[in-house]
Amino acid sequence: MSPSPFLPLQDSNPQIKFFKKGTILQNKGEVHLKAFYIKKGLVRSYTIDSKGKQHVFMFAPEEWIIGDIEAYQYEHPTELFIDCLEDTELIKLKIDHLDQDQLNHEQLKKNLRLLGRRVGLLQRRVLMLMSATASERYALFLKDYPLLPNRIPQYMIASYLGITPEVLSKIRSQKT
């Protein structure tokens, strides 16, 4: 797993919430968005395209933050669903905690580093999607996230990589 992000703003009294596997935390079309800091468990965000197909945008295991920064920044309803892949403990954050006035200097700098890393991750993902073959994509995924494959169904990994589950299955069988 890549170097983990961190909590951008400690609520004075952060409330940990519990959710069962399968719970939907955010639906497409919602406007007043939250972000979620994952204490324990595994969460994912995804879109559903015009043909009804799911595309995994990201996975968030322990210590990650997940939310829709795009919708927040550009002020429109979210395209992303967010749901729990495992029983999960998390802290709800207001997404505008990123740049709120009351934040102090240190907290703002933390958030900058957090966002910088996210930009970096996305840059690598874009370049991968533009140039890598199916098996190169899987190899990169294993390198970046060595621990996740055991916790995530393969068809979701395939979706994250932009390939079909059938192709991923074939790649894995060839690798033996």
Tokens linked to 165: 């589950």
Over the window 29 to 68, marking each residue x when it contacts DNA by CB under 7 A and - when it does not, the resulting string is: ------------------------x---------------
In the complex, minimum distance from the CB of residue 45 to its own copies, in angstroms, rounded to a whole number: 10
* Binds 170: which of its own copies, DNA, none (CB < 5-8 Å by kind): DNA
* Binds 165: which of DNA, its own copies, none (CB < 5-8 Å by kind): DNA
Q: Does 133 bind DNA (CB under 7 A)?
A: yes
* Binds 24: which of its own copies, DNA, none (CB < 5-8 Å by kind): none
Please check whether residue 45 is in contact with residue 25, taking contact to mean a CB–CB distance below 8 angstroms. no
Q: What are phi and psi of 81, to 5 degrees?
A: -90, 150
Cα 121 to Cα 3: distance, rounded to the nearest angstrom: 11
Window 135-164: residues binding DNA (CB under 7 A): 135, 153-155, 162-164
In eight-state DSSP terms, residue 32 is S
Which residues have a Cβ under 8 Å from the Cβ of 49 and sit 6 or more positions away? 55
Cα 86 to Cα 100: distance, rounded to the nearest angstrom: 31
* Binds 151: which of DNA, its own copies, none (CB < 5-8 Å by kind): none
Q: Does 24 bind DNA (CB under 7 A)?
A: no
